[in-house]
Every structure is written in structure tokens, then in C-alpha cells.
Structure 1
Amino acid sequence: MTGPDHLDADRLSAPGGQPVLVVDAAGWRRPLAPIQAVVIGIDREGALPTVVADDFDLLLTVAESAPRPWVTDPQADRLADAVRANPIAATIAAGVLRLTARLPLADALQVESLAYSALLGGREFQRWRSAAPGGAAPCPTEPLAIAREGDRLLLTLDDPTNRNAMSAAMRDALYEALANALDDPSRPAVLIQGAGKCFSTGGALAEFGTAHDLAEAHAVRTLHSCARALDVLGSRGTVRLHGACVGSGVEVAAAAHRRIAAADSWFQLPEVRMGLIPGAGGTATVARAIGRHRTLWMLLSARRVGARQALDWGLIHAIGDAP
């Protein structure tokens, strides 16, 4: 195909006014010019045509039970509107997913965090923050319960009043426990679970946007990355999920070698609607589990993914109880 030249490609971006490009997936090829628009390829016939997946940020089809990287969703307009609602966050999300797919996990987490800190200073996030409800129950002084059972370490997110919202205190406590497990010469297995009705509803909303130094926030975020520590644990790391697993509540969990979910579990990435991208590792951990195309679909749609779909996609490994 004849694509835009380098100057004309400026319009295919958030600053250029066209942050999303919806195209027929069959036969479309990405132009050489560096477009920033989110490219959504559509298969309206359900034929699942042969495509070059790297040319697209998202591939939609009407075919049932479509294989990766396709997503069965005929509502491209709704996803395009989500891009237009928060064009900077959406196009950065697509760009970060493209880049981090080629990087080792630790490097991918650095890239994500840098982009996340940049978006914290952006107008889209400030607009969300000004409209967001305030207030939350106080965080407990010990938001993580730690127990040793033989050669297994049991870590329980223990703030059920706040639905185990991942506050800075909880994140730091979880990171310290994981770091201790990594340093422990007895090499214990680690099981992470949540107390109460759900695993975690993600970041503590009352803390969003409270960092005064966004550069320092990036340094702290990457220094205490629970996703990185859990990934380094390798086969010793398991998570037991139930109920809501939202934002960082799925991003950290997705780094575990073994992910077991109860039948009532559901998963959601709402960050783009907040003018952000994942900040706890999701562009790397979730994307490694289900692919970057389906991860972007979760971000743009903000839909809940149930346990059965999560199992089919590879976000979890089994439905049931952890051993």
C-alpha cells in the first residue's frame, strides 16, 4: 500500500488530531513513516485472514473463539472512541506495548515506569483526578500478613476493608517479603493471596497523583517492583486469585510462574480511562501472558475478563485452589 510520507504522518498521532486508524485487516501493511496512531485491524467477515501481526496494535474479528492475537469483538467504534477520549494515554500505551515486547522483563518495566511517570504529569490524568471520588478507609499498619508453613512462605494482602488496594505501604511490604524470599538460602516457595472478598482492586486511588517528584517516583517504583521480584522467583512463585483483580492487582500477579484463580475471579485494566497506562508492570507481565494485542484490548475496553476467558487466553493457568 502507499502510505503517508514522513511529514504527513504527523497527523496520524494524538497531537496531529488522528490518534486512531481503523482499517480492514486483510492486506493492510504498516507504512514506513513513523505513525503514532493506534492501528485497529478489523476482520468483518470472520475469515481470520493471514496478517502480519506486527503491523497492528489490535486485531478484531467477529469469528467466535478466535486464536491469538485476534480478539472476538465487533465493536471497533467503541474502542476507537476510547482512544479519542484519552489519545495521549492510548497511543503511549500502544507504543510501550510494541517496545516492551522486544525487551527483557526488567528493561520493559523501566520503560513502562518512565511512560507512567510522564502521564502522571499530563492533562488527561489531571482531568480524571479532578473528577475522581476522594476518601478511603485508613490503611492498616501491617497491610501484609506473612506466615511460614514448612518450606512455603504464605503472603496475604491484608486490607480487606479497602479491598486490598495496593497502597504504597502494601507494595513496599510485599516487595520486602519477596526480596527476603529471594535472599533466603532455604529457597522457600512463595504463595501470594488476598484476604476478604477479592485479591486486589489495584492501586489505592487516594494516593494517585500525590507524588511531587515524578522522577523520584519512577526511581522508587522500579526499585520496589514486586513484578520484577516475583518474576525472579521463577517456579517458586504462585498466586491464588479470587474476586476482583484490577490494575496492579493483576499486573503483579501476572508475573508469577503459576497463577491459580477461583471461578469468581475477574480481571480488568482501567488505566487508559484514567489517562494513564499500567504502572505496576502490566505492559510487560500481562502482555507476556496474553500478547500485546489482547493487552491493549483490555486497556481500551476496560472490560472485565472472567476466569474462563482468562484461562483460554493464558492469563491464568488453572481455575480452582492452589496446592
Structure 2
Amino acid sequence: MTDAPARTTLTGDELVDLLAGPLAGRPDVGSVMIVDGVPTGRRDELARAGARLATLPWLVLARHGWDGAAAGALGLVDAIVDDPDDLAAIDETVDRAPIASVALALHLRSRWPSIADGLVSESTLYSALQAGPEFARWRAETPRRTDRVPGGPAVRIERTGDELHIELTRPEVRNALSAQLRDELLEALAVAEADEALHVTLTGQGPSFCSGGDLDEFGTFADPASAHLLRVERSIGAVLARLADRLTVRMQGACAGSGIELPAFAGTVIADPGTTFRLPELALGLVPGAGGTVSLPARIGRHATAHLALTGTPIDAPTALRTGLIDEVAEVPAPPA
């Protein structure tokens, strides 16, 4: 897939007919289908069409007339795009990273028996894309910094009675998630797992709770297959999900990638009014890899998750509250660096 993906505009009923037809007549791998209008077929017809779509490598976007659509119809689309600017942003994303865009759509159509199954599936896809041409191009275009200065501890932990406060302490890089921060955060969370009486509050020093993964470390592991095994074994998302009922995350600033994927596992997410949220991974030729394809659909559904990732556009705190991505908007003073 080196050329821009083909785009086809059709009605909902035409999409159902296309899915029911012979394989030879279907669009190419990576095609973008723009669907105007909800299909009018019976529930069993829509179910059969959805089952066929599950493994077809297309990106299907609903554009007009989908308000109040039934679940069977919604199963035939990957995202709902009402705003022309959002459609233009998705076009730009898909042109740059067609493989990652369609792979994300396929992945989000899946239903996993458990959070753990979803995390393993996400990591498998992430590693496959790390070995692909889109990530290789991004890495070649994005030199690593050579002026990195080793810092001190990346996480601070404080216990007061039954309250455990965990703070990310890399404000100089907006608490970017490095291997060091990951390992120290897992050690801190192990304290909470060992004592079920503890309630955990997770915060971040400086202007942003977490700006996402440390880009200088992307692609530094020996090989994608080994990286997959480590990613699964050292999954912060899996631990946060186990602690969800007694975990509160307080966020501020520009939060991207893992900076929203991980908080979305928490039982309570509080964001400062000025907080923004963004999923930028497709521009790197990747999908969200810190658990976001599991945590965000659980909060906002797969269509809104795909929309956020495909546009790459930030949303503000009121929008995040309205969709369910966060639970409360309240002043969150940035802890001093």
C-alpha cells in the first residue's frame, strides 16, 4: 500500500449489497468507504454484513443521516464523521498512514473476552506496525535527541493512612512515558496491589500530566517481537485496570497518547478545565499502544475512539466530559516541578 487509498462514496444499502456480493467485485485492500445514509435492511441482513466486514481491510466512515442509527447499522461503520474539517483531517491521516489506519479499524471491530486479551491483541498489532514501512519512514524523519541528560527518579510515592499518592516527576519532558518511568510506576502500583485498603491518586508534575510516550525511545528495542513480549509483561494498563475501583487520576495540560490511554482505565478521571486530549499515533504509522484501544472504547465506544485517532485532533475537557472520556472537570493545580 504505497499509493493513496481509493475512496468510494455509497449509500448504506449499497454497502450491505457490496458486503453480500462476490469477493471479486469488492474494493481493494485499504479502500476508504464513505457511507451516506443508514442501511434499511433487516436485522439479520445487517448482522451477516457486519460479520463479513469484520475481516475486510477497509475503513468505513459514516457521513450523513446516522443520528439515532440502530446497533446493527452502526456495526457496519468504523467512525461517524459529521464535520467536513474532521473528514479532511482523516483524509490526511489515511494518506500518510493507510496501513496503520485500516489496521486500527480492523482491531477496534474485534470483541475481546477480557481486558487482558485486548491488551495482548493491541500489543501484537503495535509490534507488527513497528516492523512496517510507515513507522520506519516516521523514525527516519524524526531524529532522536542527542542532548539528553539523565534525570533523577521519574516517580514519587507518598502514603498517608489509606491514601497512596503517586506522582510522575519528569516535568522537563512533560512526563513523557519512558522505560524508566514505566518501571518505576509499576513498582509504585505494586504497593497498591499488595494492600487492598489503599486508594490511589495519580498525578503529574509540571504543565502536563503526561505528554505521551518518550519519542526518543520509540523503536529502540532489539526487535518488534521481543518488544511485544516485554510490552505485555510490563503493561501498566493491565495493573491500572485491576486497581480501577480505587484509582483516581487528576490531569492537566496537553495529554496525548499514553497520557490519556492509561488514565482511561481508572475508575475516576478528573481533568483541569484547560486539559486537552489527543491520540497522535497514526501519524507515526502506529496505533495506540499503551492500552488505549481497550480503555477508550470501554469509556466512549469504538466509533469515537477511531474518530479521535483518525483525526489526530485534540478535544477539550468539556468535550471529553460529554463523551465520557473523563468523569469530572475541576481545577487541578499543576504540582510544582
TM over 0.5: yes
1:162 aligned partner: 173
For structure 2, the residue ranges without an aligned partner over 5 or more in a row are 1-15, 41-45, 333-337
For structure 1, the residue ranges without an aligned partner over 5 or more in a row are 62-71
Q: CA deviation at 1:49?
A: 5.5
Q: 1:164 to 1:140 in 2, by over 3 A?
A: same
> 2:239 aligned with 1:229, yes or no?
yes
Q: Note if contact 1:202-1:248 (Cα within 8 Å) is conserved in structure 2.
A: yes
Identity of matched residues, %: 36
> 2:15 aligned with 1:5, yes or no?
no
Residues 277-309 of structure 1 show CA distances to partners (whole Å, capped at 9, x for unaligned) of 011000000111111111111111111110000
> 2:69 aligned with 1:53, yes or no?
no
1:302 maps to which of 312, 317, 325: 312
> 2:154 aligned with 1:147, yes or no?
no
- Written as runs of structure 1 = structure 2, the 5 A alignment for 1:1-323 is 1-3=16-18, 4-9=21-26, 11-14=27-30, 18=31, 20-27=32-39, 30=49, 32=52, 34-43=55-64, 48=67, 50-51=69-70, 52-61=73-82, 75-99=86-110, 101-135=111-145, 137-184=148-195, 187-321=197-331
* Separation in structure 2 between the aligned mates of residue 116 and residue 75 of structure 1, nearest angstrom: 25
Tell me the secondary structure at the aligned position of residue 277 of structure 2.
Answer: strand
* Separation in structure 2 between the aligned mates of residue 305 and residue 74 of structure 1, nearest angstrom: 14
Q: Note if contact 1:244-1:267 (Cα within 8 Å) is conserved in structure 2.
A: yes
* Separation in structure 1 between the aligned mates of residue 177 and residue 246 of structure 2, nearest angstrom: 22
For normalisation by structure 1, the TM-score amounts to 0.88
| AA in 2 matched with 1:126 | A
Q: Note if contact 1:137-1:162 (Cα within 8 Å) is conserved in structure 2.
A: no
Residues 86-108 of structure 1 show CA distances to partners (whole Å, capped at 9, x for unaligned) of 11100111111111x44311110
Q: 1:190 to 1:219 in 2, by over 3 A?
A: same
Tell me the secondary structure at the aligned position of residue 17 of structure 2.
Answer: coil
Aligned residues: 303
* Separation in structure 1 between the aligned mates of residue 217 and residue 67 of structure 2, nearest angstrom: 44
Q: Which structure dedicates a bigger proportion of its chain to helix? A: 2
Q: CA deviation at 1:133?
A: 4.1
| AA in 2 matched with 1:92 | A
* Separation in structure 1 between the aligned mates of residue 323 and residue 116 of structure 2, nearest angstrom: 23
Q: Note if contact 2:273-2:331 (Cα within 8 Å) is conserved in structure 1.
A: no
Q: CA deviation at 1:212?
A: 1.2
Q: Note if contact 2:177-2:258 (Cα within 8 Å) is conserved in structure 1.
A: yes
* Separation in structure 2 between the aligned mates of residue 8 and residue 279 of structure 1, nearest angstrom: 34
Residues 117-171 of structure 1 show CA distances to partners (whole Å, capped at 9, x for unaligned) of 1111110001111111421643523100111122111110100011100001101
Q: Note if contact 1:240-1:321 (Cα within 8 Å) is conserved in structure 2.
A: no
Q: 1:131 to 1:176 in 2, by over 3 A?
A: same
For normalisation by structure 2, the TM-score amounts to 0.85
